[in-house]
């Protein structure tokens, strides 16, 4: 991924336009989030990760998406309130976007092009469970809510984690610490 990822526009929850340019020289953990998902409790872990490492240059970025079983039905204002009141989220959570299919947001197109497949936890049954429900992701798609992309300070996607990888799992924290030390 080139520096152009920093120039892809997207909306803040208030409707104003921004881009990743505001986060140049930071390590980014980009996550598609949802408020009515079995993984929603990961907001706690994401906030804890952000609190632990933000002074060293980590920024967690939440992108609400309603692409998986309608698990993010709220308005942008409702999502912001839910995140703040339920989980004490201080990391940026933006306006709802589309992360899969033909209407996929250009940011997610770029992230997925950079790393087409997520790494799932050893022994993960998430993909098999989804396939059993007829919800298996297509090629080069985000598989479910709370998939995570780790981006280095130069805007290069260096890792992609499946939804069932908890934010504070060593699979994420190990590479994150290395990026923050670089």
What CATH code is carried by the domain that includes residue 148? 3.40.30.10
Q: Tell me whether residue 12 is exposed, middle or buried, using C-beta atoms within 10 angstroms of its C-beta: 0 to 12, 13 to 18, 19 or more.
A: middle
**Range of 101's domain?**
3-181
> Model confidence at 36, in pLDDT bands (50, 70, 90)?
very high
The structural domain count of the chain equals: 1
Residue range 41-85, pLDDT digits in tens: 999 999 999 999 999 999 999 999 999 889 999 999 999 999 999
Mean pLDDT value of segment 110-121? 87
Query: End-to-end distance of the chain based on CA atoms, in angstroms?
Result: 18
Active site residues: 37
Whole-number Å distance between alpha carbons of 122 and 162: 11
Q: Where is pLDDT greater, at 140 or 49?
A: 49
- Residue 162: left (phi > 0), alpha (psi -120 to 50), or beta? beta
The pLDDT of residue 131: 60
The pLDDT of residue 112: 95
């Amino acid at each position: 991924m080139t520096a152009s990822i920093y120039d892809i526009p997207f909306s803040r929850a208030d409707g104003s336009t921004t881009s990743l340019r505001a986060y140049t020289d930071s390590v980014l953990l980009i996550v598609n989030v949802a408020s009515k998902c079995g993984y929603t409790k990961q907001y706690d872990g994401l906030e804890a990760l952000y609190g632990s490492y933000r002074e060293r240059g980590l920024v967690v970025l939440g992108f609400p998406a309603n692409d998986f079983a309608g698990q993010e039905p709220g308005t942008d204002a409702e999502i912001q309130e839910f995140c703040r009141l339920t989980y004490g989220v201080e990391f940026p959570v933006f306006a709802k976007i589309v992360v899969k299919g033909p209407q996929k947001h250009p940011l997610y197109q770029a992230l997925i092009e950079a790393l087409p497949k997520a790494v799932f936890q050893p022994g993960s049954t998430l993909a098999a469970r989804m396939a059993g429900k007829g919800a298996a992701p297509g090629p080069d798609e985000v598989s479910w809510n709370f998939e995570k992309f780790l981006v280095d300070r130069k805007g290069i996607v260096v890792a992609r984690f499946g939804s069932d990888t908890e934010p504070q799992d060593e699979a994420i924290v190990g590479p994150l610490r290395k990026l923050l030390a670089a």
